[in-house]
Structure 1
């Protein structure tokens, strides 16, 4: 399960709104809806006609914005972010939005994703005199915009020029004193949607944020698109030609909330269809199907419906324990797994159990859950995974940055089964996953990034994105 991930690098949630008198309050609610995307930091920046205001801090949304803290964030436009950080990116200075002030104007930036050429750009900028205050990739964009200032270039042109130099997966929201800018990478690898609330425009990483504030979903932001929203309305521009759409498959498998839609595809229904497809690809004789809460429940229901094996709540999640993959250290994850799940003994005792999960990363958590079910009296535990095996590192924001993080790399399915001590182990085929999600077969990669399953990356991978020991392995 993705609880075994060491963490996420820039896997965050962003929100923006232009033209509403309750901008900061609506951003607060929008960030609540996106809280699952990051639990270590939150921030909001607003524009009030006199400049940009910002409040941010480490912790959950309701911890950072407690009491009357929103009252000072006046204005009719705002952006916000919930953040997860790796150990290298921890610290209050990296919490976004980042605000940059200069004699030519102020700008606030929030970002979801990972720039694969960030180090190369930082080194070049430092040689030109730039001094970085954070370790965040987000700051790179601000420096690039500033370096292009002057001459006859408009602010829009400067932003376009800077964005065109970025490589990787990114969804940016930028707030200035003149407008709100929204940018999506040329492959649309991170989710970003546009909505409308009355006369106000809103953007968010997931459409569940629109549902919470009562906004209407308009569309997904297009690959390579730059949207400019100001008092004149909304204008769509382009900073790069659209590449082959390659939305992160893990958004469908795990990251996104079940009530969100990506490119018009509902996450719950996609996961449910994956479960149905999985049941078509494997024949198991069992007494009960259960899913690992929460992201696997939809697939477990689909597996049950297609196989005819009854679905039961065989595992219960402690709602007062955060997602274990959000925890930044291995020791905290170890304790988190034990606190997070409890088997329902009367459901699984004496039964042949099908345990549906979204993925297996390291295998340690899967092994513990299998043992947990056996200790509760399950006579057999059959593990079925509603995604293909994870065999390759990700350099686009998910912190599976080396092969050593992945139990399936270099091992057969039977070897992985033996390591997690299950009676059987089955993964959904890549073809079955794409078919179930509903991607068009005419699109390259069917519109999704499959790199972690296939090792085929949709962009060039720069040398500075690969860890040192990974470089040694590739020689």
Structure 2
């Protein structure tokens, strides 16, 4: 399936790299994996893959471009994936080639080892992948993809351990960055998170079977019971014989879960760290209203990600909530290939203003983030064209001033609006009556940290806001593509 150009609205949002899902001990595992991936589609819409194992015929795989609903619902595809164990992956490329992904870059990846085959699906980003890849190639490894995740398969192949889980431990001890992994052998389902637990992974039970997933919403779609989160630095190995076995293969560290999962990435019907994502986002809106009140007639979300925060803002401020912007639910990423005239319509292809509601009103617009600022400009123009008297932007996250290197597709720092402008300069650039972001402390309070952010020991990974990276992005530093704020400025600059 050919990838059509992404829409301008999509280009101005941060994108999660991928979602992972696995199941063991069920009939027709591939059908459950496809349903799970469908629930995780928000984490990656570019491509997906499923690998299963059937004792009589071995491993089976299918990798396709496009959405799960368009590829893994066809009988002709699903019949090629027999077995009671399977894993799957949906992706949006970060480390691989953007916009021109080859099918060989689509996960899960598979490797044949002396003790049998294994497949692996990875959510996150390996920050020392370039150095590892160079080392492995020098030692004779032949890479088939552009993905950083393939390094794990090659590291496993070079391990001298006697079984797949131990080889995986060996490999992941060499890896830096963020990883939540779902893997499988002929008889085992494996889940593992890095020591910081940057990306999510949960464990569920389905009758006598077990499930691993990036989010709890994917458990709900197949009727599985949420058991618990896979803990930071934990590996779980699941088999019919031994059930769930847990180990701690990495040096123990203070967890740094990605705080942006609460703000935007995860689905609002998921549970993170025992908290409803929806309730957290509503609480963000409450904090935002306390910190940045506005005199206005209505509060409108920028759909859909701004909706819970807008509800919270309305509840706290007493300003009525209204659906002033309507989203076209049928305008997907694989819409008709746009002509230049259609492309210039910008976000109007996805969003339309409820003119009768907006005309003459002072409007508070609540959005989840500002990245490049292009979408904010277009939406402001739409609201003013509809006759709004005033436009006040309220943003349910702090200013995004630094790129992410742990599995989120982020523009280079100089393309981040908040990295080059003050809040007042951004307000002037966008052309609104007022602009305010929630503070970092306010965001922490909304996610349950009553005292706000512990600056000496932050409770989350918030590098995109603070510039404080819990793992140094060594590849990017070596390539000269990023200088951290704590690094000395070279002489002459």
- TM-score tier by shorter-chain length is over 0.9
1:439 deviation in Å? 3.8
Q: Are the aligned partners of 1:228 and 1:236 in contact in 2 as well (CA < 8 Å)? A: yes
Unaligned residue ranges in structure 1 (runs of 5+): none
1:403 deviation in Å? 1.2
Deviations 1:224-283 (A, max 9, x none): 111101122110011202322111122111111100111111111000000001001122
1:85 deviation in Å? 1.8
Change (3 A) 1:163 1:463: closer
1:147 to 153, 158, 168: 158
CA distance in 1, matches of 2:349, 2:146: 32
Q: Are the aligned partners of 2:130 and 2:475 in contact in 1 as well (CA < 8 Å)? A: no
1:183 to 167, 189, 192: 192
Unaligned residue ranges in structure 2 (runs of 5+): 1-7
Q: How many residues matched?
A: 468
Q: Does 1:118 align with 2:125?
A: no
For 1:173, the equivalent position in structure 2 comes to: 182
For 2:462, the equivalent position in structure 1 comes to: 450
2:299 to 289, 293, 300: 289
Moved more, 224-233 or 369-378: 224-233
2:252 to 242, 246, 253: 242
Q: Does 1:313 align with 2:320?
A: no
For 2:232, the equivalent position in structure 1 comes to: 223
For 2:78, the equivalent position in structure 1 comes to: 70
CA distance in 1, matches of 2:124, 2:90: 13
Change (3 A) 1:285 1:458: same
1:22 deviation in Å? 2.8
1:197 deviation in Å? 0.9
Q: Are the aligned partners of 1:439 and 1:446 in contact in 2 as well (CA < 8 Å)? A: no
CA distance in 1, matches of 2:349, 2:213: 32
SS at match of 1:101: strand
For 2:53, the equivalent position in structure 1 comes to: 47
For 2:5, the equivalent position in structure 1 comes to: none
CA distance in 1, matches of 2:14, 2:317: 34
CA distance in 2, matches of 1:427, 1:467: 32
1:447 deviation in Å? 3.0
SS at match of 1:106: strand
CA distance in 2, matches of 1:301, 1:349: 21
For 1:137, the equivalent position in structure 2 comes to: 148
1:38 to 37, 44, 48: 44
- The alignment's TM-score, normalised by the length of structure 1, stands at 0.93
Q: Are the aligned partners of 1:174 and 1:182 in contact in 2 as well (CA < 8 Å)? A: yes
2:30 to 1, 12, 24: 24
Q: Are the aligned partners of 1:390 and 1:452 in contact in 2 as well (CA < 8 Å)? A: yes
Q: Are the aligned partners of 1:119 and 1:464 in contact in 2 as well (CA < 8 Å)? A: no
SS at match of 1:136: coil
2:117 to 84, 87, 106: 106
Mapping of residues 410-429 of structure 1, within 5 Å: 410-429=420-439
Change (3 A) 1:446 1:322: farther
1:320 deviation in Å? 1.1
CA distance in 1, matches of 2:477, 2:239: 36
Mapping of residues 187-202 of structure 1, within 5 Å: 187-202=196-211
1:6 deviation in Å? 7.2
For 1:203, the equivalent position in structure 2 comes to: 212
2:20 to 14, 19, 26: 14
Q: Does 1:161 align with 2:167?
A: no
SS at match of 1:88: coil
SS at match of 2:226: strand
Deviations 1:425-445 (A, max 9, x none): 010010011111114759775
Q: Are the aligned partners of 1:17 and 1:78 in contact in 2 as well (CA < 8 Å)? A: yes
Q: Are the aligned partners of 2:50 and 2:63 in contact in 1 as well (CA < 8 Å)? A: yes
SS at match of 1:111: strand
CA distance in 1, matches of 2:458, 2:480: 32
1:331 deviation in Å? 11
1:334 deviation in Å? 6.2
Q: Are the aligned partners of 1:145 and 1:162 in contact in 2 as well (CA < 8 Å)? A: yes
CA distance in 2, matches of 1:342, 1:38: 25
Deviations 1:185-236 (A, max 9, x none): 1111111111111111101111000111111111111111111011221100
Q: Are the aligned partners of 2:359 and 2:386 in contact in 1 as well (CA < 8 Å)? A: yes
SS at match of 1:242: coil
2:103 to 73, 92, 109: 92
Q: Are the aligned partners of 2:366 and 2:393 in contact in 1 as well (CA < 8 Å)? A: yes
For 2:139, the equivalent position in structure 1 comes to: 128
Deviations 1:301-339 (A, max 9, x none): 000000000000000001112369xx9xx9998665231
For 2:369, the equivalent position in structure 1 comes to: 359
For 2:359, the equivalent position in structure 1 comes to: 349
1:262 to 241, 263, 272: 272
Change (3 A) 1:336 1:64: farther
CA distance in 2, matches of 1:332, 1:96: 33
